[in-house]
């Protein structure tokens, strides 16, 4: 992990094969830091807790463990609590594979696919 010190207004640039990502500290208020992130439109930028919930794994505060859930046929399926995030992610992955989920599941169809459906 690279740890950088920045002042308000000083940017961090990350160059990827998909484009340039810019991170800008906007406001520092005690323990809370607000940052601005500029990224190409096809790159998803989420807070960790939002990302984990999307992929089926999130931190359960009361149990102090990782919880695995998957949405199937409009209903959430509880898959268990785990000490290790990788174990929880593996259970979600196995469940999705066993129930016919694909790598494109939940992603928007491309314009070509939308036309092909007509």
Number of domains the chain contains = 2
Q: Is residue 64 part of a domain?
A: yes
Q: Say yes or no: 24 and 55 in one domain.
A: no
Which range of residues forms the domain containing residue 13?
Answer: 8-42
Q: Say yes or no: 54 and 93 in one domain.
A: yes
Note the pLDDT tens digit of each residue in 50-87.
Answer: 666 667 888 889 999 999 998 888 888 999 999 988 88
Give the number of C-alpha atoms closer than 13 A to the C-alpha of residue 74, restricted to the C-beta side. Answer: 0
Percent of residues, the chain, with pLDDT higher than 70: 81
Record the pTM: 0.49
Q: Is residue 24 part of a domain?
A: yes
Cα–Cα distance, 24 to 38 (Å, whole number)? 8
């Amino acid at each position: 992990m690279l740890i950088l010190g920045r002042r308000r207004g000083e940017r961090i640039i990350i160059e990827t094969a998909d484009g340039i990502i810019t991170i800008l500290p906007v406001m520092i208020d005690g323990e809370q830091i607000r940052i601005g992130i500029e990224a190409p439109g096809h790159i998803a930028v989420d807070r960790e807790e939002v990302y984990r919930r999307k992929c089926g794994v999130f931190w359960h505060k009361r149990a102090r463990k990782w919880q695995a859930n998957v949405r199937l046929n409009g209903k959430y399926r509880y898959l268990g609590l785990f000490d290790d995030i990788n174990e929880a992610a593996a259970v979600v992955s196995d469940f999705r594979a066993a129930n016919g989920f694909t790598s494109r599941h939940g992603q928007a169809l491309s314009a070509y696919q939308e036309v092909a459906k007509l």
